Amino acid sequence: MTDRLKIGDLARKTGKTVRALRLYEERGLLSPVRSEGGFRKYGPDEMARVYWIGKLQDMGFTLGQIESLITTVESKDTAPIAMESLRELFGGRLGETRAQVERLLQLERDLMESLAYLEGCRACTTDHDIEACSTCESVHADAHVPSLVAGVHLAPSTPAPIPSSALVRPRTQ
């Protein structure tokens, strides 16, 4: 048992907290062996399980879903059937991940387009009110206004009065 780690060492190696590792054990996700002195001891299999749990959490799985996944896999009669259920689950998650990546790539393009547009504003020589910025032709005569810039309402508005019921009054004692 000398090659096994104590819980603190496993926490340091995996980047998890001792509390998280204990929670995994309580939920049946981890099963460390116990030393003669009662200490939790973790080997390579438990370390791999902690990394696996972290990956699944990165993919958006909750601990409850991970428990369910383990139960589903362990309930299958054969390894090929168990792996088929994993394949289906991961295939669905891959589709969701690709859609999320595409949304993030579009956001990146929108941000880059907006930053390039706003960079031009540094050279603006027109002395105008801020509400005219969205229609400025000084630097952006032929430029399309990016959605992240066009969506900003630049005209100053008079704030609506705050209803007295929304005001927080200090308590008197």
- 87: tokens are 């394949």
> Which pLDDT tens digit goes with each residue over 121-132?
887 777 777 666
Q: How many CB atoms lie within 10 A of CB 61?
A: 17
Domain positions in the chain: 1-61, 76-121
Mean pLDDT along residues 154-162? 51
Higher local confidence (pLDDT), 60 or 165: 60
> Which pLDDT tens digit goes with each residue over 4-32?
999 999 999 999 999 999 999 999 999 99
Q: What are phi and psi of 40, to 5 degrees?
A: -70, 135
> Which pLDDT tens digit goes with each residue over 72-120?
888 888 889 889 988 998 999 999 999 999 999 999 999 999 898 888 7
Q: What are the beta bridge partners of residue 42?
A: 5
The CATH code that applies to domain 1-61 is: 1.10.1660.10
Query: What pTM was computed for the model?
Result: 0.64
Strands annotated E in 99-163: none
Higher local confidence (pLDDT), 145 or 152: 145
